Structure 1
Amino acid sequence: MATVLKTILLPEETIAGLDALVAAGHAETREALVADLVAREAEQAAKQKAFDEAIEEGFASGFVEMTVDELRSHLRSRYANAT
C-alpha cells in the first residue's frame, strides 16, 4: 500500500489520547494507531452491514405463528441427530 502524506487537524485532547495509547503499547506510532483504528472501524462496519442484511432477509422471509414451546420442540426434533 502506498503511503500518502496528509495533514489533519485534531484537538489537543485527541492527540494526547493517541499518545497515551501509543505509550501503552497499542501501536508503535500515531500513524499506525490511526491506521489500525480505521481498519477496525471498516471491519466493524462490514459486520454491521452483514448483520443488518441478515435481519432484513429474515423479515423478508415472512413470519411463522409458533409458540416458544412449539419452536423448541421443532428445533429439537430437527437437530436431534446433529453433532
Structure 2
Amino acid sequence: MATVLKTIELPAETVADIDTLVSAGHASSRAALVAGLVARQAERQRAFDAAIEEGLASGSSGVTLEEILAEARRRHGRS
C-alpha cells in the first residue's frame, strides 16, 4: 500500500495517549497506531452500514414503535 505524508493537528493529550500506547507496545509507531485505529473504525462503519441496509431490505416487521417500547419497559421493569 502506498503511503502519503499528512500533517494533522491533535490536542496534546491525544498525542500523549498515542505515545503511551506506542510505548506500551500496542503499535510499532504513531503512524501504525493511527492507521490501525482508522482501519478498525472503517470496518465498524462498513458493518454498521451493512446492518442498516439489511434491516431496510427486510421490510417492516409489523410491530409498532409503541409495542417495541412496551416490551422494552416490561423486560427492564420500567413503566
TM-score with structure 2 length normalisation? 0.71
1:1-80 counterparts in 2 under 5 A?
1-58=1-58, 60=59, 62-63=60-61
> In the TM superposition, what is the alpha-carbon distance from 1:64 to its structure 2 partner?
6.1
Give, as a single letter, the amino acid of the residue that structure 2 aligns with 1:54: E
Question: Which residues of structure 2 form unaligned runs of 5+?
Answer: 64-79
Q: Identity of paired residues, percent?
A: 52
Question: Which residues of structure 1 form unaligned runs of 5+?
Answer: 66-83
Aligned CA-pair RMSD:
1.6
Query: Larger Rg: 1 or 2?
Result: 1
Once residues 64 and 11 of structure 1 are traced to their aligned partners in structure 2, the CA distance between those partners, rounded to angstroms, is 48
Once residues 41 and 64 of structure 1 are traced to their aligned partners in structure 2, the CA distance between those partners, rounded to angstroms, is 33
TM-score with structure 1 length normalisation? 0.68
